Amino acid sequence: MFLKIARVTLFAILPTEVMLAVLLVSDAALPRPIVIAAELVVLTALLLEALVLWRSYRALRHDGARRRTALRGAYEQLVPEKVRRIMGFEAKGMVSLVLWVGRRRHGAPPGAVTLSYHREQTGLMFGFLFTCVIELVCVEILLRSLDAPAWLRAVVLALDAYGILIALAIIASCITRPHVVTADELRIRYGAFFDLRIPRRLVAEVQHRRTYNEIGMIKADGDCLVLAANSQTNLIVELGETVVAVRPLGRREHVRVLRFFADDPSAAVKALRPSRDPAAIGIWP
């Protein structure tokens, strides 16, 4: 019961606190009693969250869990998986921005073959980013012409700026998190949203076959998982065993075939061809 109340309270206080902060920063004239009451409500809610977190932590410690494991378990009990994953996307996106500026790649050890997949969609994404910037400027001009209050302009500006930052993070994550082939595994990714690691021994067949009419970016079709870039795929990997793939919001799929995109599919086929039997893999249309 306390856990359900804590989750509902968590979802309620975060947007309320953000809105209150924006209003205060924009010098909106808020009555002092309202500000104090709002902060008391937020403080009470935070205390409730801390109480539920502590009770979960103590219960896990009583069951023999280590401190770090118990703390992580308590956090996972309090925050639903979908929310945790969305927060993880944002954190990975911010890290990707830093990697992008530093011209580095994530998860590409020495000797690994990296397979980019962003070229077909980067132009479209930059176009969307440019549209967001134009929208920000136009909305600000419109609000000023309508003599909109400063707090409203600040809220809209913050939302638009956050949207631009997220768009940049998505672009950066797709560039800095390529597919990776090593001697031990095939790692298939889609930016910060998807990451599947497959042992090389499970790769049974690789085909270079292009498709232009894929629907959606990440979808499951029976035992086939599709990761499309700009509605395209050009590689098919068949596995010797079924593996579990975790979709962006946590749904598990049991897959045996992977259909995805690489900017250089020939390099992907060459990298995935097993040395023990070169003729068994690498089928070209």
CA 175, CA 114: separation in Å to the nearest integer? 11
Environment class of 64 (CB within 10 Å of its CB; exposed 0-12, middle 13-18, buried 19+)? exposed
Banded model confidence at residue 283, pLDDT cuts 50, 70, 90: very low
233-242, pLDDT tens digit by residue?
999 999 999 9
Pairwise pLDDT comparison (53 vs 154), residue with the higher score: 154
Does position 251 have pLDDT exceeding 80, yes or no? Answer: yes
Domains of the chain, residue spans: 2-79, 181-272
Banded model confidence at residue 43, pLDDT cuts 50, 70, 90: low
Give this prediction's pTM.
0.75
DSSP label at residue 112: P
Determine the 3-state secondary structure of 13 from DSSP: helix
How far out from the chain centre does Cα 125 lie?
Answer: 16
Q: Can you give the length of the chain in residues?
A: 285
